[in-house]
Structure 1
Amino acid sequence: MPLPGVPLEKLGFLTIGLFDGADPGPGHESTLQVIELGERLGFDSAWLRHRHVQYGISSPVAIMAAASQRTSRIELGTAVTPLGWENPLRLAEDLATVDVLSGGRINPGVSVGPPMRWDDVRDALYPDTADVEDFSYERVLRFLRFVRGEQASTFSGVQGIETFSSRVEPHSPGLASRVWYGAGSLRSAVWTGETGLNLLVSSVVKPEGDDGPWDFGAIQAEQIRAYRTAFAAAHPERGAGRVSQGLVVVPTDSATAAQREKYAAYVESRTARTAEPQGPARLLFARDLLGTSDEIAEQLYAHEGFREVSEVAFALPFSFEHEDYVQILTDIAERLGPALGWSAG
């Protein structure tokens, strides 16, 4: 539990990897350079967010494969891969391959539910099976079985000159222990603990009930505690499950005046949505944390959800320039991290 005097154990960051649709190469190269910078700065992990039919990373597995060959230490993850877009067996093959290539540094984060804008993409994504696709937790369990090396085929052996395996190949033995679930509700947090997965929490929660007042930190802390209780009851031999929090932080220590003005406008444009749950799903968003590293550290120590975790993957703002990310990541690693007791390994 990070309180003043208790060091934060692991420091990571999350990026969406925006690019220009007319010229996508520079944006993808910027993402790889940001990951390389994160390793040089000592970050423990870099996480990629999926953005399908948008101008953000649509294939984090490919980006992680490239990043694995340009880094040697930093862990690489997805936060999160929506499994409604994926074939669990094929995803297990891809992730195991990249895990082998990276030397065991991959942290797959997943979620379930119908793909975003389902009515618009269903005919392209599942033209023949849309009405029978299972977007429930069972899709995660299928994926886990393949990652763990359980049966994927009823045949193994030699046929002609080819050798077949009954499981997904390659098999990466440690990968299953590094699978995370992105939960935002009490129900999903409990299920994550019962299933024995690591827990990713972010800047979005789904409150219980319809009445306020809405305290984001208190809601998130309740979910994390419920996860830990469920994990301990279902898996007493494994100790505590890992939990990582992903709030948006924008330190301004070394920012120029123009950057500070841009950052303040960005945060202000997103603040109204934090007052009450939004949309049909009634999702509550956390406030972005803007200021000097000392000011952000003070806000984090007052955040009930943050006080329940020892790992973070701070989310980078979506729409900034490469030089902005360099400044923000440098300030996080050199100023905010140390203010939270973290030190580069």
Structure 2
Amino acid sequence: MPLPGQPLRSLGFLTIGVFDPADPGPGHQSTLDVITLGEELGYDSAWVRHRHLQHGISSPVAVLAAASQRTRRIALGTAVIPLGWENPLRLAEDLATVDLLSGGRLNPGVSVGPPMQWDRVKDALYPDTADREDFGYGRVERLLRLVRGEPATDFSGVEGIEVFSDRVQPHSPGLAGRLWYGGASLRSARWAGEHGMNFLTSSVIKAEDGSTDFAALQQTQVRAFRAAHPDGDAARVSQGLVVIPTDTATPAQREKYLRYAASRQGRVGVPQGPGRLLFAADLVGTSAEIAAQLHAHAGFREVDEVAFALPFSFEPEDYVQILTDIATRLGPALGWVPATGTAP
């Protein structure tokens, strides 16, 4: 728990990787540049978000494959891959491949539930099986078994000149221990703990038990996860709030950041939609101000890993300023020490 005097162990960031649909290449290159900058600044991890039929990263595993060849140390994560869009066996193959290419740095985060805009996309996504698809936790369990190297079929051996394996190939030892579940509810937190996964908790959770206190609810979820996990208090949890330090921002940037946060403030503390989602407030200010707010945040006080989320609609120069301020000012104010060298 990083109370004042107790250091933050791992500092990461999350980007959605926006691009211009008329010319998507530069946006993807910019995402790779941001990840490279993160490594140069000493960040421990860089995470990409998943978006389908939108102008954000639709194939995070492919993007991280490219990032793995530009970097040598920084952990590369997905936050998160919605498994409703995926075949677990094919995804297990892709994850293992990229993990091996990265030297064991991949941290796949996944979630369950029907795909976003399900009624509009189901005929394109599952034209023959839409009414039979299971979008529950079983989909994660399939992925876990396959990544862990359990049999995918009852056949292995040689047929003619072809050699077949009964498990997913390639197999990457250690990858299963770096699988994360992105959960927003108490039920998901407990499920992730019971199944030995790591836990991603973000700036969006579910309002439960009649409470709208975001920090207190997040604290309860983290504690429930660890209570259910075989590793107990040592089980890994990463928190992903939106923080925007303004230490070296220009006056125009500060004004932009404050406008951005103000435009989103109306949803804070008010459950949204049928899922009763609660959104955390964006933290904008000097690094000293943000550090004080984080140390007072009940959810933050339960973790020693973070992946701060970058706002989606800013310019590359804004991301450079924000990432640099987090690494050089906010991180140290939280007791964090930049990483150096290469991954083992």
TM-score by length of 2: 0.97
What is the aligned partner in structure 2 of residue 227 from structure 1?
225
User: What 5-or-longer segments of structure 2 have no aligned partner?
Assistant: 340-344
Deviating 4+ runs (over 6 angstroms): none
* Deviates most, 155-164 or 253-262: 155-164
* 1:108-132, Cα deviation, whole Å (9 max, x unpaired): 0000000000001000000000000
AA aligned opposite 1:63? V
CA distance in 2, matches of 1:229, 1:239: 8
Aligned-residue Cα RMSD (Å) equals 0.9
Q: How do 1:259-274 and structure 2 match up within 5 A? A: 259-274=253-268
Report the CA distance between 1:160 and its aligned residue.
1.2
SS for the counterpart of 2:12 is strand
* 1:182-212, Cα deviation, whole Å (9 max, x unpaired): 0111111011111110000000111213x34
Q: How do 1:196-275 and structure 2 match up within 5 A? A: 196-209=196-209, 211-212=210-211, 214-231=212-229, 235=230, 240-275=234-269
Report the CA distance between 1:240 and its aligned residue.
2.3
SS for the counterpart of 1:108 is strand
SS for the counterpart of 2:226 is helix
CA distance in 2, matches of 1:200, 1:245: 6
- Identity score, percent: 73
CA distance in 1, matches of 2:224, 2:265: 28
AA aligned opposite 2:225? Y
CA distance in 2, matches of 1:217, 1:66: 36
TM-score by length of 1: 0.97
SS for the counterpart of 1:331 is helix
Report the CA distance between 1:275 and its aligned residue.
2.6
Q: Does 2:326 align with 1:332?
A: yes
Residue in structure 2 matching 1:289, options 278, 283, 287: 283
SS for the counterpart of 1:13 is strand
* 1:97-153, Cα deviation, whole Å (9 max, x unpaired): 000000000000000000000001000000000000010000000000110011112
SS for the counterpart of 1:80 is strand
SS for the counterpart of 2:235 is coil
What is the aligned partner in structure 1 of residue 43 from structure 2?
43
Aligned length: 339
SS for the counterpart of 2:263 is helix
What is the aligned partner in structure 2 of residue 144 from structure 1?
144
8 Å CA contact retained: 2:213, 2:269: no
CA distance in 2, matches of 1:51, 1:226: 29
SS for the counterpart of 1:12 is strand
What is the aligned partner in structure 2 of residue 193 from structure 1?
193
- C-alpha change, 1:239 and 1:288, in structure 2 (3 Å) is closer
